[in-house]
Structure 1
Amino acid sequence: MLYMGLYPASRKKTRTVFTFEALDDYDLENLETKASAAKHYDKLTRLTANAFPTMVPNQYRELLVISREWRNLKARQRAGYAYRSTDAIPAGGLALFCPACPQPGVNLPNDWQSDPDRKKYMRTLLADGNFKQDHLKMKYDSDDVPLSDGHGYMVTRAPFEEYLASTSDPVTLEPSCHEHRAVTQQNQSHAHLDVTGIGAIACGRHGCFYPHSVVNFRKGEGQRYMDYAFIQAILYIRQSLLVFLLYDIMCQFWVNFLK
């Protein structure tokens, strides 16, 4: 089936297949138009039977599952892991990193460490949060099965949860940032949400996200969340490069940063 350009919807007694073109078309439409899987499937039913779309067999559930598998396989292929099933994918191994940032062995001279002007090779990191990327609590958490946990831009789930369970944010009675949303959100109720936003580290010059450095917020933009994101970005750099960090609430983040 794969040699014929057909992707099976099940591994046993396959009855439904998706063409590679159909899966690529959904990926592109979702990326460019932000169309949901439901809207895309409605379009397919109209193309199949415009006068009677409700009579088309419903394969929407299969599309949800197979499209995720397809994206994961394409990411593995692009990163070079599609044909090395025995190799463990490292943290952030399926993500793309900024090609213009200084990278020893990639775009820096061999003697860059002996250059007296080390600032030329400095990495600029930008930290910030996004409170529009929230997530409602799921009725059945077991239905959410990750295919690439920690392989992309999000951090690995289990170590991050263990870190949150062992840490807490200090209570700031008088914040130095006046009416800053990142601070005021910490005191709001989010009983219906399990994720209130995301925090990320990006390249300050080119805007590219750092692999394995995007974290979920539980309640406001707590400093422990951004601590974890920043450390993961530093671990991804791995070389002894100078780092310049930009953050809109650095006045508070800097208080205990060195500790």
Structure 2
Amino acid sequence: MFGDELVRHDGLGDDCVAPCCAVCQAPYSPTTCLFKCGDCGQFLQCKACCLTRHELTPLHVIKEWNGHFWAETSLEVLGHGGFPCVFPDQQVYKMTVIDAPIIHQIRLLRNAWYPAMVTDPATCAIFKTLEAFRLYNVVGNMNVNDFVNAMEQVTDATASTGMKWLPDRYKQVQRMTRQYAFLKRIKRAGRFHDAAGVDATELRECAVRCWTCPQDGRNLPPDWRNVDPAFRFLYMLLLAVDANFKLKNRIRANEIDDPPLGPGWSYWVEPQCYKRHLKSYVAEKDMSTCIAFAALLQKDTRMTTGLCASGVGGCVCARHECVRPNGIRDLRKGERYVSCRLVLDAS
């Protein structure tokens, strides 16, 4: 019975005897095509009723009955949010819309979608798709390449074999998802409500601070400085600093200009200030009295030639492992104390 239900949707189902539009009862003929929408339901629609019904839903997947089987088609309706464009162009451009898990190619220019470029965009993604990838990336550690490949397979399984062409939108999706994640971060920080504008954002203002660590004026009693010395440990901030030397970055001759979004606004240190800080301590000699501190003892023997970053270091609260504001930075030459000093001061 389940198999019969799966097969009946490949044909006309209960309408195989006298197929007609379920809305206006227009009968099927070679000149009067019938359509069905998998998002609206399995009922049949004529062309006029289908276009009228989908004025506000241009991304629904439409199939046309060609007399033998259902063939995929598209809704090419020009408009803005489902309504006619007030300044239509003489030339109609085709737009690639990424609506997970489908990649559409339609002729709609504005419908609350995020463009890949601000000048003559040819690709956009709906907010639902960008939000879905943001959660897949954070929760499931999915990368952009796997996300795009999966959508291509859902759109048309023959695309990977070369039988059907689909536009490659890997770079565009990578750019849009990065920008969207940044916009969500500054939105949640309340920066869009500042009368001075987003550019007035100060360092560390978009970072989420540990909600349990002691913070003066937020979760500490007014007289915490006058507490008995035996209980001062209750209001002590404990920090931990560690590094990952596998996150190296080599110096490349063809390095592209990739400026950061909101430098220093969250967890990474502001790069220009950090570089000036390192230049001030070029000849500093680190000293350690701990014989077990191998990372500091080997900082001069580690292979750092040709590296613009020998690793990544971070500062977290030791109790709850939350990253401190401006608590992450690149390591220029091993785990030197000078690389940690600016981060500890910022925290």
TM-score, normalised to structure 1's length? 0.80
The DSSP-based 3-state class of the residue aligned with 1:90 is coil
C-alpha distance in 2 between matches for 1:173 and 1:222: 10
User: How much does 1:46 deviate?
Assistant: 1.1
Note if 1:25 corresponds to 2:157: no
Deviation, structure 1 residue 90: 1.6
Partner secondary structure for residue 187 of structure 1: coil
How far 1:104 moved relative to its partner?
2.0
> What is the 5 A alignment of 1:59-138?
59-84=169-194, 85=197, 88-116=200-228, 117-138=231-252
- TM-aligned CA distance change 1:114 to 1:179, over 3 Å: closer
Distance 1:186 1:29, change over 3 A: farther
1:222-257 Cα deviation digits (max 9, x unpaired) = 111112221121xxxxxxxxxxxxxxxxxxxxxxxx
CA distance 1:138–1:43, shift in 2 (3 Å): farther
Structure with the higher fraction of residues in helix conformation? 1
User: How many Å apart are 1:191 and its aligned residue?
Assistant: 2.6
SS in 2 for 1:63: helix
The structure richer in strand per residue is: 2
Which residue number in structure 2 is paired with residue 216 of structure 1?
330
Aligned partner of 1:40 in structure 2 is 147
2:120 equivalent among 3, 6, 13 = 13
Gaps of 5+ in 1: 234-259
Q: Kindly tell me: are residues 232 and 173 of structure 1, through their superposed partners in 2, closer, same or farther at Cα, counting changes over 3 Å?
A: closer
Change (3 A) 1:174 1:228: closer
Q: 1:94 to 1:88 in 2, by over 3 A?
A: same
Q: CA RMSD in A?
A: 2.4
Once residues 212 and 178 of structure 1 are traced to their aligned partners in structure 2, the CA distance between those partners, rounded to angstroms, is 28
Match of 1:239 in 2: none
- The offset of 1:178, in angstroms, is 4.6
- 1:246 alignment counterpart: none
The answer to whether the aligner puts 1:159 opposite 2:273 as a matched pair is yes
- Report deviation, 1:61: 1.4
Share of identical aligned residues, percent?
25
Deviation at 1:176?
Answer: 4.4
TM-score (norm 2): 0.61
Relative CO higher for 1 or 2, CA cutoff 8 Å, sep ≥ 6? 1
CA distance in 2, matches of 1:86, 1:36: 29
Secondary structure class of the residue paired with 1:18: strand
Task: Indicate conservation of the 8 Å contact 2:263/2:271, yes or no.
Answer: yes
Computing the radius of gyration from Cα coordinates, the structure with the larger value is: 2
Q: Deviations over 1:105-133 (max 9, x none)?
A: 22122222332343321111112222122
The amino acid across from 1:63 in the alignment is: V
Q: State the one-letter code of the partner of 2:130.
A: L
1:241 aligned partner: none
Q: How far apart are residue 138 of structure 1 and its match? A: 3.9
Q: Point out where structure 2 has 5 or more consecutive residues left out of the alignment.
A: 1-79, 82-109
